[in-house]
Amino acid sequence: MADKVKVFCIMFNNEDKREYSAGEVLSGHVVVEVSTGVSAQIKAVKISTRGCAQVYWGKGPRQAPSPSSAAIANTSSQCVQEQVEYLCISQTLKETPDGEEFISLDEGRYEFPFHVELTQTPLVTSFKGKYGSVCYEVTAVLQRPLNQDQTVNREFSVISHVDVNSPWLLSSVSTNNEKMIGCWIFTSGPISLNVNINRMGYCNGESIPINAVIENCSSRLIVPKAAIYQIQTFMANGKTKSYTKLVASVRGNHIPSGCTDTWNGKILKIPPVSASILNSSVIRVEYSLAVMAQIPGAKKLKVELPIVIGSIPYNGLDGRSSSLSRHFSMDMSWLALALPEVPEAPPNYADVVSEEEFELHSPSYSQSEELERQLGGQALSYIQEFRFQPPPLYSEVDSHPVHS
């Protein structure tokens, strides 16, 4: 009887592991618990580990997943459906020995361990969207000789790592756009957007510093805004379906007529979202950063910059920076050779004073005679010595201490 098996489930050895990637091992065990006082007859315990992308939209019955790796498509004109398989691994954990019809399990708990090594081929990241999904699951089948087979499923998540430190994701992105407000001879002036971000790749939890110049030469009050959009694209049977979702936004200050607002690294934080999916033939998940100016009574002005949400965080050093630092250190190597061992003294101030300035500050003949009489020598020599000599060198020790 089917009710003799009280528990039939799948347990993973590492229940805390959130995501797996290509080449990793998924391990666990299938649990079968037989009710007290009875025994259960089984023929085999099997598992299959599968992963596939499914796309569906339109009216009509949805087809069940097929184990075939070939893409399928519904021929109904009202329904579009397609499926691509990325992973299919089957294992037999327990089976009836040759010559026997079944295995008898007495009351108690039984665990059948399994180890599945995911393919080394890059897998597509798990995702559930508007018109399709990428799902991975382990299916266990308990085959019974006298009863219908029992089946249980357990999903697990897969991540296809995207390193935001890749050179193509570290390059800056910029764009601009302009819109004239009004019509014919009643135009009031243009509104322009000029936007730049330092790199294209980011991870969940990071913030995007936005650099922008929003110029309002129109006669209207405008409101700038920045937003991150997720663009889901589904492809099936030669057709394409798209869905765009707002995931984060930030609003700027109002810009009056004739004014300009500058964003020097305005922060827009990325919330927890799925990583970009760029390696699937039926589902793509992309992101864009949009900066727009909302204009009362007119269509908003908007520019968009592509961004990629990755899984390996930014390390703070891009290849361009490290290359520049190495180049700079090489270029500065000449400095040690050019510097003298003992620094030269600065030139006398008299060497850089013009003749006109020298004459202007030189004492008259009568003044010179009086000074010479008081000083007991040539006054000019004393004056020029102290006027055009460089200041004394700095020292923390007083060279002329006053003794009490």
Fold of 167-317: Immunoglobulin-like (2.60.40)
Domain boundaries, the chain: 2-158, 167-317, 349-387
Query: What pLDDT, in 10s, does the model give residues 69-104?
Result: 344 444 445 788 999 999 999 999 999 988 788 899
Q: Are 184 and 210 in contact (CB under 8 A)?
A: no
CATH fold of 2-158: Immunoglobulin-like (2.60.40)
Mean pLDDT (whole number) for 277-298: 95
User: What is the dihedral sign for C-alpha 158, 164, 168, 172?
Assistant: positive
Q: Report the run of H or E that residue 32 belongs to, with start and end.
A: strand 25-34
Of 203, 209, 382, the closest CA to residue 291 belongs to 209
Q: Are 224 and 291 in contact (CB under 8 A)?
A: yes
For residue range 99-140, what is the model confidence (pLDDT) as tens digits? 788 899 999 999 999 999 999 999 999 999 999 999 999 999
pTM, entire model = 0.72
Which whole number is the average pLDDT over 364-385?
Answer: 54
Q: Are 193 and 291 in contact (CB under 8 A)?
A: yes
- For residue 80, the surrounding DSSP H or E stretch is strand 79-95
Show Cβ contacts of residue 331 under 8 Å, excluding neighbours closer than 6 positions. Answer: none
Comparing CA positions, the residue from 300, 271, 269, 266 lying closest to residue 195 is 266
pLDDT over 80 at 24, yes or no: yes
Per mean pLDDT, which range of 132-136, 213-217, 311-315, 346-350 is the poorest? 346-350
Characterise 38 by phi-psi region: left (phi > 0), alpha (psi -120 to 50), beta (else).
beta
Number of other CB atoms surrounding residue 275 within 10 Å: 22
Q: Do domains 2-158 and 167-317 have the same CATH topology?
A: yes
Residue 387 has pLDDT above 80, yes or no: no
Which of the four pLDDT bands, split at 50, 70 and 90, describes residue 305? very high
Closest CA to 275 of 230, 228, 306: 230
